[in-house]
Amino acid sequence: MTHQGRWLVFIVLLTAFALWVSLPDTTGFELDFNNDGTVDFALNVQQSLGLDLVGGLRVLLEAELPPGSFTTEDLRETANNVARRVNALGVTEPTVQVQGNNRILVELPGVTDPDQAIETIRQTALLEFIDMSGLGGRIGEFVDRRVLTSQQFIIQQQRIERAEQAGEDPATVAPQEPGAVNPLNGQPFQTVMTGGGLQAAAAELDPGGGWLISFQLTPEGGQIFGPYTASALGQSMGIVLDGVLLSAPTIQARLDTGGVITGNFTEDEARQLALQLRSGALPIPLRIESNTTVGASLGQESVNLSIRAGVIGVIIVLLFMVTYYRVPGISAALALIIFILLNFAVFKLVPITLTLPAITGFLISIGTAVDGNILIFERIKEELRAGKSLDAALDSGFDRAWQSIRDSNISTIIIAGILFLFGQTPGASIVSGFAITLALGLTLNLFTAVIVTRTFLTLLIGVFRQPLVERRWLLGV
The string of pLDDT tens digits covering residues 164-198 is: 776 777 666 566 667 899 999 999 999 999 877 88
Closest CA to 355 of 425, 423, 417: 423
Whether 42 maps to a domain, the answer reads no
Question: Mean pLDDT, to the nearest integer, of 363-381?
Answer: 89
Q: Is the peptide bond before 351 cis (omega within 30 degrees of 0)?
A: yes
Whether 36 maps to a domain, the answer reads no
> Which domain does 395 fall in, by range?
3-28+295-475
Q: Choose one of 95, 121, 147: the last residue of a domain.
A: 121
CB 56 within 8 A of CB 290: no
Q: Choose one of 255, 290, 325: the last residue of a domain.
A: 290
Tell whether 385 and 259 lie within a shared domain. no
Question: Mean pLDDT, to the nearest integer, of 401-412?
Answer: 90
40-44 vs 28-32, strand pairing mode:
antiparallel
Please write the tens of the pLDDT for every residue from 269-291.
787 777 666 665 566 777 788 88
Tell whether 105 and 72 lie within a shared domain. yes
Tell whether 257 and 360 lie within a shared domain. no
Tell whether 131 and 277 lie within a shared domain. yes
Complete DSSP assignment for 147-173? B-BHHHHHHHHHHHHHHHHTT--GGGG
Whether 138 maps to a domain, the answer reads yes
CATH number at residue 260: 3.30.1360.200
Tell whether 308 and 400 lie within a shared domain. yes
3-state DSSP helix/strand/coil % of the chain, to nearest 5: 55, 20, 25
Tell whether 152 and 111 lie within a shared domain. no
SS3 287: strand
Closest CA to 255 of 211, 207, 221: 221
Q: Choose one of 290, 322, 339: the last residue of a domain.
A: 290
Tally Cβ neighbours within 10 Å of residue 204.
13
CB 201 within 8 A of CB 274: yes
Tell whether 251 and 338 lie within a shared domain. no
Q: List beta partners, residue 41.
A: 31
Tell whether 81 and 149 lie within a shared domain. no
Whether 12 maps to a domain, the answer reads yes
Q: Which residue has the higher pLDDT, 439 or 74?
A: 439
Whether 34 maps to a domain, the answer reads no
- Average pLDDT in the chain: 82
Range of weakest confidence among 83-97, 117-131, 332-346, 354-368: 83-97
Note the pLDDT of residue 7: 92
Complete DSSP assignment for 356-387? HHHHHHHHHHHHHHHHHHHHHHHHHHHHHHTT
Tell whether 218 and 142 lie within a shared domain. yes
CB 65 within 8 A of CB 157: no
Whether 35 maps to a domain, the answer reads no
CB 195 within 8 A of CB 128: yes
Instruction: State the pLDDT confidence band at 140, using cuts at 50, 70 and 90.
Output: confident
Tell whether 336 and 280 lie within a shared domain. no
Residue 425 has pLDDT above 80, yes or no: no
Q: Which residue has the higher pLDDT, 399 or 424?
A: 399
Range of weakest confidence among 41-45, 299-303, 345-349, 415-419: 299-303
> Sign (positive/negative) of CA torsion 44, 47, 49, 53?
negative
Q: How far apart are CA 392 and CA 397, in angstroms?
A: 8
Question: What is the helix (H) or strand (E) element at residue 257, kind and residue range?
Answer: none
Q: What dihedral do alpha carbons 106, 107, 108, 114 form, nearest 10°?
A: 70
pTM here? Answer: 0.62
Q: Which amino acid is at 108?
A: L
Number of domains composing the chain: 3
Complete DSSP assignment for 39-101? -EEEEE---EE-HHHH-EEEEEEEESSPTTSS-HHHHHHHHHHHHHHHHTTT-SS-EEEEETT
CATH number at residue 104: 3.30.70.3400
CB 238 within 8 A of CB 130: yes
Note the pLDDT of residue 147: 92
Tell whether 10 and 76 lie within a shared domain. no
DSSP 474: G
Tell whether 141 and 276 lie within a shared domain. yes
Q: Give residue 230's Cα distance to chain centre.
A: 42
CATH number at residue 352: 1.20.1640.10
Whether 41 maps to a domain, the answer reads no
Q: How far apart are CA 249 and CA 255, in angstroms?
A: 13
Note the pLDDT of residue 282: 62
Question: Mean pLDDT, to the nearest integer, of 330-344?
Answer: 94
Q: How far apart are CA 9 and CA 462, in angstroms?
A: 16
Whether 43 maps to a domain, the answer reads no
Residue 112 has pLDDT above 70, yes or no: no
